[in-house]
Chain A
Amino acid sequence: MTVHSPRTIDQAVTLLEKYPSAMILSGGTDFMVEVNFNHRKPSQVVSTRAIEELRQWNIDHDTNSIFIGAGVTYSTIESSDIAQAAPALAEASRTVGSPQIRAAGTMGGNLGTCSPAGDTLPVFAALDAKILLASNAGRREVSFADFMVGPKKNSLLAGEMVLGVSLPIIEGWQGYAKVGVRNAMVISIASACLVRNASDDSVRVALGSVGPTIIRARAAESWWLDQGAPRSSSEMHTEFGARCAAEASPITDHRSTAEYRRHAIKVLCTRLAARSTSR
């Protein structure tokens, strides 16, 4: 196994063109586990750690957007100004693993692995994040919905890497909640992110661990808009939660049952809706 440690994005994409099957190492909190368990035996690895540019982030109040480099860690999200600009992303980041894992794991890694249980992915889905990709041929931007195409499957092309993710700053409320069978350091068995836009009182809601990809509950979102203001009754929130759950397509495995996962989505979405209107 050869590990390459480029210092610039140009060097990285050049290496990726040369070794199209190379694995990208960006934190290693999933990747190294797979290597250690012998589930993967990559011959070429491109490590992104030395690429300073990937660790940059900025909040642009003129365009009301946040750009987060692929090498930014969960702990940076939790402790930086990003936590105020995108609180749901900070909440999702706090649920990841242990402090050690959060100091190592990155946004690019979560996007690259693209697990339905990826903790930050429902936030990206709910915010309609744009994923910036680069290859030796140039750069392109795809929406999160087009980026994640299946369980641990994304639309990265051979020789392509994630540069970062761009999120809108939305005036209103946003929150994230995740169910696991212990109170910290646990894989999600159901999660949800809800973003409420103050300008038109619309909501966007995304569900994790209850389908092959992150699921946007779009029918529930439009049902919400169809209801009259102030959209603050508990009956409405309960109905909204049930409608979100109806859009989930969970499975039963050793971690939980489909029935419980669907139920958890109902409860989480009801509660997030209530929290979104409680202030």
Chain B
Amino acid sequence: MSTVKTRRDVLGTNALRPDGAAKVKGEFSFSSDMWSDGMLWGATLRSPHPYARIVRIDTSPALAIDGVRAVLTAEDVPGVLTYGLIDQDQPVFAVDYVRYMGEPVAAVAADHPETCRRALAAIIVEYEVLTPLTDPELSLDTSTPAIHPNGNVFRHQRIVHGDTSVVGDVVVEGEYEIGMQDQAFLGLEAAMAIPDADGAGIELHIATQWLHEDQKQIAACLGLPIERVRLVLGGVGGAFGAREDISLQVHSCLLALTTKRPIKMQYSREESFFGHVHRHPARVHIRHHAKADGTIVKIEARMLFDGGAYASTSSAVLINGITHIQGPYRCPSAVVDGFAVRTNNPPCGAMRGFGVVQACYAHESQMDRLAEACGLSHVEIRLRNAMRTGDTLITGQPVESVAPVERCIRETDALPLPPPLIDSPDVLELPGGTGLTSRSENIRRGIGWGVSIKNIMYSEGFDDYSTARCTLQDGVVALKFATSEVGQGFVTLAPQIARSVLGVTDVVVEPMDTTIGSAGSTSASRQTWMSGGAVDGACRLVRERLFEHVGLANGIDALRLVIEDDEIVDTMGTLRIKVTDAAPGVRFEETFEHHHRPTEDLDENGQGNCHVAFAFVAHRAVVDVDVELGLVKVVQVATAQDIGRALNPLSVQGQLEGGIAQGLGLAVMEEVIVQDGRVRNPSFTDYLLPTALDAPEVVYSLIEEPDPQAPLGAKGVGEPPCISVTPAIASAIRQATGRDIRRVPVRPQDICL
């Protein structure tokens, strides 16, 4: 009999999601499925105008409706009137002015959603409509009147690095534009707020990315001590950055405290488009100086991010944008000016890629131009400039992370291409799909490249630590953390860690809530590193205690003990005991906080070690284009990603494929269309997401060079897949059509007219 056992669901295996089957079968409880005895429904009245002065609000007609229990406006906010992740400038309810279409003005609680609708319609709001500021260039103009007391510029930051007088043998220049993308998570915003019996506290069940940050902002607006605001994670159906900011949290809590009844709030898809921030639209002007052989010597860039009406994370998105504008390439000198500005457009904030998506579209479009100017292939120009560990960024920060950029490019290049376009493939697979617009003779195929660098974790001096607790008793582990599971798979990874460290099989993940310390945000590709580090640390502490116990009981030095499979083994003796039997009835419990190394602010020249670590990826896109109609089909995307170590290869594959679909969306179809400050397509009928017929075949290679700084050797894998695929697809369209594509999403008329 073999004694070799393959332990299930440890690190490095394709452990399945514990909630996977329930989600597929429709049995998973999302936050919109929550119900409470005696609950009321909450709803939000929103501004129909992008910019207006509130002359008068009369809530009495709504209050007179049978079944309406509360109507609240800014006057009813007991604590601070505004909230925000970085600058607290966003009103819970509009005060005097509304600054974007959809800004909350009032909220109602009633016994039925239909009663809520009638109550919203009955509230009288008299507006003096003002001319909205919608052009971000005008926000920079000092003669433009300020639309907010804090002014029209959220942040300006320069980067001045190296010898700025250098002039290249070859200079290429371009102006690029990125449209407004929506995170389009499938599980809409929803919350259940339950007031404490004494009326002086609240329990909020909520789909969010960061329980403790929400808790802090909510408590401030409610005017309650932080311990009287308890948050529990509701079932989250995707996030992608859209759940970083407050949406219905404060409204639902206020209504619950006012009515002394549980409040259920949930947004429709249409309301969701107005209820959360989007990806910043951006304009990037960029000039590359290179030697004749293609070696980059300097970049000059100006980036302008439209942050919309309120600050959200605009200032951090800006820094990510300008500090990544060099791409994954060596660049000794740089002059960069970045602006994030306020307009009366929808507020913009976090979305997967966080400012780097905009930078990457610009620098990768430039790399193609530079290749053509230098007579090099698109692969050669990138290899020639590929960043390596130890290189210095334009911020002066050394790249200490493993930086296998060259390997990303070479391994992507080595992945097989799809079969050639043949005479009579399935017409559904051609551009136009079910519309039967195209035959193979109408198609030209292009191949394009994109390579990117992305920071992971928070930057600029922020200590975004994570906390976890591990309890072991009789071979059963319980893990406790406040890490938001938004679909990324930490509920799969955390038990894998415990099994690997402690040799156990049974791991219970306790509910995520605020009864333990913060885990930081499920953002910035950081939870595998940060919460993974916290769980690993807590499990290792428990293992030490277990070894001490076993050592003492057996009269041996605990340092001689190791875990092998499911047993504790004495490396210098014969003791071999199952973890489940090692300490009957004894309970070990340890809590661990994982902190990453400190980072710095940027100085006035944009110099400073502001980021923690970096991950890299290359994408190659093969795209078929119906040149006459401007329709596209992304046939295949090949990618090699720097992931450190595949802790769950199946989960990594899911992130790669999902990110590629999201990047494809930005490349060819996903855009929140805003005209004069008004959103024109707040529905999935007109905000188009890729379907199965739009999704490409994905071939990939995982580059596993464990990062010594990372607790588990693994880098976060969430954001990189969606970053450089967008420019790769745009580049392939350029190759197929010869058209100069400066803007994403690429529209049919951009190709054929």
Across the interface, name the chain B residue whose C-beta is closest to A38: B117
Q: Which of A38, A94, A254, A257 contacts B434 (CB 8 A)?
A: A94
Contact assessment for B694 and A255 in the assembled complex, using a CB-CB cutoff below 8 Å: no
Instruction: Give per-residue flags for A1-42: 1 if the beta carbon is below 8 A from chain B beta carbons, else 0.
Output: 000000000000000000000000000000000000110000
Contact assessment for B437 and A179 in the assembled complex, using a CB-CB cutoff below 8 Å: yes
Distance in Å from the Cβ of B16 to the closest Cβ of chain A?
Answer: 27
Contact assessment for B686 and A254 in the assembled complex, using a CB-CB cutoff below 8 Å: yes
A45 contacts chain B at the CB level, 8 A cutoff: no
For B633, what are the chain A residues with a Cβ–Cβ distance below 8 Å?
A: 183
For B510, what are the chain A residues with a Cβ–Cβ distance below 8 Å?
A: none
A198 contacts chain B at the CB level, 8 A cutoff: no
For A264, what are the chain B residues with a Cβ–Cβ distance below 8 Å?
A: 629, 748
Across the interface, name the chain B residue whose C-beta is closest to A261: B749
For B434, what are the chain A residues with a Cβ–Cβ distance below 8 Å?
A: 94-95, 178, 183-185
For B556, what are the chain A residues with a Cβ–Cβ distance below 8 Å?
A: none
Whole-angstrom CA separation of A95 from B427 in the bound complex: 13
Residues in A143-183 with C-beta less than 8 Å from chain B: 175-183
Q: Which of B270, B630, B680 contacts A37 (CB 8 A)?
A: B270
For B685, what are the chain A residues with a Cβ–Cβ distance below 8 Å?
A: 187
Q: Which of B270, B433, B628, B753 contacts A184 (CB 8 A)?
A: B433
Distance in Å from the Cβ of B317 to the closest Cβ of chain A?
Answer: 26
Whole-angstrom CA separation of A260 from B629 in the bound complex: 9
Across the interface, name the chain B residue whose C-beta is closest to A98: B691
Across the interface, name the chain A residue whose C-beta is closest to B431: A183
A66 contacts chain B at the CB level, 8 A cutoff: no
Query: Would A182 and B669 be within 8 Å (CB), given that A254-B681, A267-B629 are in contact?
Result: yes
Residues in A257-279 with C-beta less than 8 Å from chain B: 257, 259-260, 263-264, 267-268, 271, 275
Q: Which of B431, B437, B680 contacts A178 (CB 8 A)?
A: B437
B747 contacts chain A at the CB level, 8 A cutoff: yes
Instruction: Give per-residue flags for B721-749: 1 if the beta carbon is below 8 A from chain A beta carbons, else 0.
Output: 00000000000000000000000000111
Distance in Å from the Cβ of A95 to the closest Cβ of chain B?
Answer: 5
Whole-angstrom CA separation of A91 from B434 in the bound complex: 8
Tier of interface size on chain A:
20 to 34
Whole-angstrom CA separation of A276 from B709 in the bound complex: 65
Whole-angstrom CA separation of A179 from B117 in the bound complex: 37
A256 contacts chain B at the CB level, 8 A cutoff: yes
Distance in Å from the Cβ of A261 to the closest Cβ of chain B?
Answer: 9
Q: Which of A183, A260, A271 contacts B442 (CB 8 A)?
A: A271
Query: Would A183 and B747 be within 8 Å (CB), given that A38-B117, A177-B436, A178-B437 are in contact?
Result: no
Whole-angstrom CA separation of A38 from B691 in the bound complex: 27
Contact assessment for A260 and B749 in the assembled complex, using a CB-CB cutoff below 8 Å: yes
* Among B431, B749, B753: residue with most chain A CB under 10 A: B749
Across the interface, name the chain B residue whose C-beta is closest to A180: B435
For A225, what are the chain B residues with a Cβ–Cβ distance below 8 Å?
A: none
For A91, what are the chain B residues with a Cβ–Cβ distance below 8 Å?
A: 436
Whole-angstrom CA separation of A271 from B442 in the bound complex: 10
Distance in Å from the Cβ of B252 to the closest Cβ of chain A?
Answer: 21
Residue tally, chain B, CB below 8 Å to A: 37
Across the interface, name the chain A residue whose C-beta is closest to B269: A37
Q: Which of A38, A179, A254 contacts B435 (CB 8 A)?
A: A179
Query: Would A182 and B748 be within 8 Å (CB), given that A177-B435, A187-B685, A271-B442 are in contact?
Result: no
For A255, what are the chain B residues with a Cβ–Cβ distance below 8 Å?
A: 686
A186 contacts chain B at the CB level, 8 A cutoff: yes
B688 contacts chain A at the CB level, 8 A cutoff: yes
Contact assessment for A182 and B436 in the assembled complex, using a CB-CB cutoff below 8 Å: no
* Among A38, A95, A179, A191: residue with most chain B CB under 10 A: A179
B572 contacts chain A at the CB level, 8 A cutoff: no
Whole-angstrom CA separation of A91 from B686 in the bound complex: 22
Whole-angstrom CA separation of A91 from B435 in the bound complex: 8
Distance in Å from the Cβ of B268 to the closest Cβ of chain A?
Answer: 8
Distance in Å from the Cβ of A33 to the closest Cβ of chain B?
Answer: 8
Contact assessment for B747 and A182 in the assembled complex, using a CB-CB cutoff below 8 Å: no
Contact assessment for A181 and B681 in the assembled complex, using a CB-CB cutoff below 8 Å: no
Contact assessment for B117 and A260 in the assembled complex, using a CB-CB cutoff below 8 Å: no
Contact assessment for A183 and B432 in the assembled complex, using a CB-CB cutoff below 8 Å: yes
Whole-angstrom CA separation of A226 from B667 in the bound complex: 45
For B673, what are the chain A residues with a Cβ–Cβ distance below 8 Å?
A: 254
Contact assessment for B748 and A184 in the assembled complex, using a CB-CB cutoff below 8 Å: no
B631 contacts chain A at the CB level, 8 A cutoff: yes
Whole-angstrom CA separation of A263 from B432 in the bound complex: 15
B371 contacts chain A at the CB level, 8 A cutoff: no
Whole-angstrom CA separation of A264 from B680 in the bound complex: 23
Contact assessment for B692 and A184 in the assembled complex, using a CB-CB cutoff below 8 Å: yes
B752 contacts chain A at the CB level, 8 A cutoff: yes
* Among B434, B630, B688, B691: residue with most chain A CB under 10 A: B434
Whole-angstrom CA separation of A264 from B437 in the bound complex: 10
For A191, what are the chain B residues with a Cβ–Cβ distance below 8 Å?
A: 435
- List 17 A–B pairs whose Cβ atoms lie within 8 Å, in order of A's numbering: A38-B117, A178-B434, A181-B668, A182-B433, A182-B691, A182-B693, A183-B433, A183-B631, A183-B693, A185-B691, A186-B435, A254-B673, A254-B675, A255-B686, A257-B749, A260-B753, A263-B753
Q: Which residues of A contact B (CB under 8 A)?
A: 37-38, 91, 94-95, 175-188, 191, 254-257, 259-260, 263-264, 267-268, 271, 275
Given contacts A182-B691, A184-B694, A255-B686, 16 further A-B contacts (CB under 8 A): A94-B434, A175-B436, A179-B437, A179-B748, A182-B688, A183-B631, A184-B434, A184-B691, A184-B693, A191-B435, A254-B673, A260-B749, A263-B749, A264-B748, A267-B629, A268-B629
- The list of the 10 closest CB pairs from A to B, nearest first, reads A183-B433, A254-B680, A178-B435, A260-B749, A184-B693, A183-B693, A184-B691, A184-B434, A95-B434, A177-B437
